[in-house]
Chain A
Amino acid sequence: MSATTKTLEEVTTRDYEAGFVTDIEQDTVPPGLNEDVIRFISAKKNEPEWLLEWRLKAYRNWLNMPHPTWANVNYPPIDFQAISYFSAPKSDDDRPKSLDDIDPKIKETYDKLGIPLYEQEMLAGVAVDAVFDSVSVATSYKEKLAEKGIIFCSMSEAVENHPELVQKYLGTVVPHNDNFFAALNSAVFTDGSFVYIPKGVRCPMELSTYFRINAANTGQFERTLIVAEEGSHVSYLEGCTAPKRDENQLHAAVVELVALDDAEIKYSTVQNWYPGDENGVGGIYNFVTKRGLCQGRNSKISWTQVETGSAITWKYPSCVLRGDNSVGEFYSVAVTRGYQQADTGTKMIHMGKNTRSTIVSKGISAGHGQQSYRGLVRIAPTAENARNYSQCDSMLMSDTCGAHTFPYIDCQNPSAQMEHEATTSKIGEDQIFYCKQRGISEEDAVSLIVNGFCKDVFRTLPMEFAVEAQKLMEITLEDSVG
């Protein structure tokens, strides 16, 4: 035990590897939220009237909504008037025209994080829409995508150049009054990504966005919308890491996916935001609403998430299976260590006939980490022959962490077939000893065992992301056994 206890102590003194702050000027509104701030944001972004009205509607709804308390997480009340709702990197022109126009410090930040921006992307087949705080500063490969009629741009650009598409789909999956944080996002969202894949088009590359929270005390309210037309196919990667900050930062994003007949959307996330220090001070509050609508027949939406960061994670990427024969998938690895808390899972809402869903959730808790899987599988009366398979496994790495499971099942059609499997295990001293006896160090042994535990999820990630995820797990869980 002595060696493992020692390594547990080491983990608490370990610095957050992505913790640095880029020093650039910010164009920020004073803290506080009221209709004027919303009008300011909307004006700043030259938005059409309908969008301002939509924001204001969301805001007025939000004012009457209670702060949700049902999640198994604890945090002090958030003062929404202390948050600044708009910040954008300053530049002479409103927006950089090419990658060369990017503030070198921003590029440096990305380099430190090991995010490739130039040729590496081409080699990796990735186009990046990088979000630095609230305004997109780099979008690549747009022309190549445009040849196929694919639109991949920031939400602001989409509002400007494709207002009819935005108006048609925005809020159709996550309405402006869906929940407390989604309503807040609808009122104040500043940017995000927009993807449109035309009928019958298979997107030739993985689309990727890196989010980064930079300015202190600035909430980030990203809004992402992906629409896959009939018979189209897209794989989207979202990766996140934030510089070190002492104050809590709120992040309330909304992601909406719409898949029409025979369309397929794969959405993968690696989330590595600042989790707070060894005493649980600071860190990101990650309150996200992600939902996909399988609107068309034979459509498919697949969520894969690797969640290692944030002080608090509150997130349930869900699928509404409206189209007949549509398929929803949720693959998740979540790690909580230090004083991190996560309440995460999914909802699979079966409405169409022969709809199928798969849930594979792997939770790893270390230190004082607390983790809950919360999932809902609902079979509506109209969902003839629906099938669901759920598997929730938890791995505990210390005596002070916790794992909880809250599976909800609501079945209103007798033809449904549902399976639920759950396990909880403690990472075995005997497994680690076995590895050591073969010459493998304790750190490598832990990463080997954990990666094995997560394999079913990692293998659903696109190749380059899977490698990144494994590396992230190694960094995250080094010295975590205790």
Chain B
Amino acid sequence: MALLEIENLHAAIDGTEILKGINLTLNTGEVHAIMGPNGSGKSTLAKVLAGDEAYEVTQGSIRYNGQDLLDMDPEIRAREGMFLGFQYPVEIPGVSNTYFLKAAVNAIRKHRGQDEMDAMEFLQLIRERAKTVKLEDTLLQRPVNEGFSGGEKKRNEVFQMAVLEPVLAILDETDSGLDIDALRTVAEGVNAMRSAERGFLVITHYQRLLNYIVPDHVHVLLGGKVVKSGGKELAKELEQSGYAMFGEQAA
């Protein structure tokens, strides 16, 4: 079943068009990778999907779980199971990671007509999930991302994903800035969550992440358009020949 259907998506920021007609269909249970050089529109796509109001959708449509995604506020998208792992996670001084996640979990549960999670149950859940991404317990009590290293911030994103159990997870360059051990940990966290009920859209610069998170489909984004789609072997091809194989656009 199609979880995400993007049709002829055009989007602009401050009047400059970044996405110029994207088409992409992602089915439940699939992992799609989006690759492309700097400035190709990868992060814009992620933010448009999550509903960042800085971007204006000028044309096209997005259906998510059969609903019109562009009609939904960002928090509703999140409560309907969409998760964005940020490329640059923001800091929220004075707000503990635990408190923040509890607010998120309970907002989502409320949306689904469930009761709030009680404190003990919640604590158990986050401790268990923190282990899966090797996030130290001390980071749970620290303010959200404040004073975290680059690697800790990215692991914190994957940890939040593990707690929130999204239906569609979009990971925006979660691998950037990670050393090889951290990369492996993050990939393991993602792999542990792969399931027939969940879709992943993994955005990355480099092929190396895809050695650990093996995608079902790979799309190459260039100049705001998907210029090529294929299987996991496409990533390997790119690794060898670079984006130059797509001609001048890549320069």
Where the two chains meet, the residues of A that have a C-beta atom closer than 8 Å to any C-beta of B are 1-3, 428-431, 433-442, 444, 448-449, 451-456
Cβ of B108: which chain A residues have Cβ within 8 Å of it?
Answer: 439
Those 5 A-B pairs whose CB atoms lie nearest each other, nearest first: A452-B94, A452-B95, A455-B94, A438-B104, A439-B78
Cβ of A453: which chain B residues have Cβ within 8 Å of it?
Answer: 93-94
B120 within 8 A of A: no
A437 near B107 (CB under 8 angstroms)?
Answer: no
* Chain A, Cβ-Cβ closest to B85: A437
B73 near A436 (CB under 8 angstroms)?
Answer: yes
Beyond A434-B90, A448-B95, whether A3 also contacts B53 by CB under 8 A is yes
Beyond A3-B73, A429-B54, whether A439 also contacts B111 by CB under 8 A is yes
* Chain A, Cβ-Cβ closest to B54: A429
B100 near A448 (CB under 8 angstroms)?
Answer: yes
Q: Tell me the bound Cα distance from A449 to B92 in angstroms.
A: 6
Cβ of A449: which chain B residues have Cβ within 8 Å of it?
Answer: 92, 95
Closest Cβ of chain A to B48, distance in Å, is 12
A438 near B95 (CB under 8 angstroms)?
Answer: no
Cβ of A434: which chain B residues have Cβ within 8 Å of it?
Answer: 86, 89-90, 92
Cβ of A444: which chain B residues have Cβ within 8 Å of it?
Answer: 103, 107
B21 within 8 A of A: no
| Interface size of B as a range | 20 to 34
Beyond A3-B73, A434-B89, whether A441 also contacts B54 by CB under 8 A is no
* Chain B, Cβ-Cβ closest to A455: B94
Main secondary structure of the interface of A (DSSP, over half): helix
Per a CB cutoff under 8 Å, which of A429, A430, A442, A451 touches B75? A442
* Chain B, Cβ-Cβ closest to A434: B90
* Chain A, Cβ-Cβ closest to B78: A439
A437 near B103 (CB under 8 angstroms)?
Answer: no
Closest Cβ of chain B to A468, distance in Å, is 18
> Chain B 85-126 against A: per-residue CB contact (8 Å), 1 yes, 0 no?
010011111110001110110011001000000000000000
Cβ of B74: which chain A residues have Cβ within 8 Å of it?
Answer: 433, 436-437
Cβ of B158: which chain A residues have Cβ within 8 Å of it?
Answer: none
B94 near A454 (CB under 8 angstroms)?
Answer: yes
Cβ of A433: which chain B residues have Cβ within 8 Å of it?
Answer: 50, 52-53, 74
* Chain A, Cβ-Cβ closest to B110: A439
B160 within 8 A of A: yes
Beyond A438-B104, A440-B103, whether A456 also contacts B78 by CB under 8 A is no
B90 near A437 (CB under 8 angstroms)?
Answer: no
Beyond A431-B92, A452-B94, A453-B94, whether A438 also contacts B100 by CB under 8 A is yes
Closest Cβ of chain B to A377, distance in Å, is 25
Q: Tell me the bound Cα distance from A428 to B91 in angstroms.
A: 10
A441 near B92 (CB under 8 angstroms)?
Answer: no
7 cross-chain CB contacts under 8 A = A436-B78, A438-B101, A439-B79, A439-B164, A448-B92, A451-B94, A454-B94
Q: Tell me the bound Cα distance from A437 to B99 in angstroms.
A: 16
Q: Tell me the bound Cα distance from A453 to B78 in angstroms.
A: 25
Cβ of A456: which chain B residues have Cβ within 8 Å of it?
Answer: 94
A437 near B84 (CB under 8 angstroms)?
Answer: yes
A428 near B90 (CB under 8 angstroms)?
Answer: yes
B29 within 8 A of A: no
B143 within 8 A of A: yes
Closest Cβ of chain B to A451, distance in Å, is 7
B78 near A437 (CB under 8 angstroms)?
Answer: yes
B104 near A439 (CB under 8 angstroms)?
Answer: yes
Cβ of B79: which chain A residues have Cβ within 8 Å of it?
Answer: 439
Q: Tell me the bound Cα distance from A298 to B52 in angstroms.
A: 55
Beyond A436-B75, A449-B95, A451-B95, whether A431 also contacts B103 by CB under 8 A is no
Residue among B51, B95, B111 with the highest chain A CB neighbour number at 10 A = B95
Q: Tell me the bound Cα distance from A452 to B92 in angstroms.
A: 7
Beyond A434-B90, A452-B143, whether A440 also contacts B53 by CB under 8 A is no
* Chain B, Cβ-Cβ closest to A430: B90
